Amino acid sequence: MNEYVVDVGQRHIREINEEIQEACARGDRIRVVNTLSRHNLGIGLPDGAEIQFEGSVGYYCGGLNTGATLEIERNAGWALGEGMAKGTITVGGYSGMSCGAAMIGGTIHVKGDAGPRCGVAMKGGNIVVEGRIGYQSGFMAHSGKIIALGGAGDSCADALWEGEVWVASDVDSLGVDVKVVEPTAEQVEEVNAILEPLGLADSSRDWRKMVSGQRLWFFESRDAGAWLMI
């Protein structure tokens, strides 16, 4: 496989993404340099593409990913991998607000911390954060798993639907309509199966598994106070 280098700099973002797509169509392995934390890099990447971003990227990198493997050397801005369907995104540092928003599949692996509302409205897939997840992470997650090894901020897992938030350290506070349950051995094995390819599996962890308390699933006027707390 040939390596193709894309230089970002101050060029128009459409021109950059068109060049990336053309290299994907040729089957090249792509290295993106001089990123300057630019927004909207690598949108709608196809299945099988392999792309490495040197340095940091801005908002919405890897959005609508349909199966590519992305490696970001340093940090990522807001909405990393928003709406992705499959593939893998790895961040070497910090990922900003709304990492994995509305994703429906694939895996996002953040080696540092993740900002507020990590996994907001996600519909599937997995987000693994080696550090800490920020305020209101998991908000209204419909499906999928958020796995945080370094703790969680306030209002964790607020207004969950059928998503799950797993935390292996301290949680500052729980959000509205959240229930902490004891995971079964089989469920812990499922999480370790996600962590194993990342070199992060550890059977000794004391997990907090957060799921919906289901008070918000059906609106009733007698329980309207729960909705007003969101």
Domain with 83, as residue range(s), is: 3-228
pLDDT on residue 218? 75
Name the pTM for this structure. 0.94
**Residue 203 phi, psi (nearest 5):** -75, -10
pLDDT on residue 226? 63
pLDDT digits (tens), the chain, 230 positions: 799 999 999 999 999 999 999 999 999 999 999 999 999 999 999 999 999 999 999 999 999 999 999 999 999 999 999 999 999 999 999 999 999 999 999 999 999 999 999 999 999 999 999 999 999 999 999 999 999 999 999 999 999 999 999 999 999 999 999 999 999 999 999 999 999 999 999 989 999 999 999 988 876 655 666 655 55
Q: How much helix, strand and coil, in percent to the nearest 5, is found in the chain?
A: 15, 30, 55
pLDDT on residue 207? 97
Strands of the sheet with 208-212, listed across from one edge: 3-7, 29-33, 50-53, 66-72, 86-91, 107-110, 123-129, 143-148, 164-167, 208-212, 178-181
- Look up the CATH number of the domain holding residue 144: 2.160.20.60
- Looking from the CA of 220 toward its CB, the CA atoms found within 13 Å total 7
pLDDT on residue 227? 57
User: How many structural domains comprise the chain?
Assistant: 1
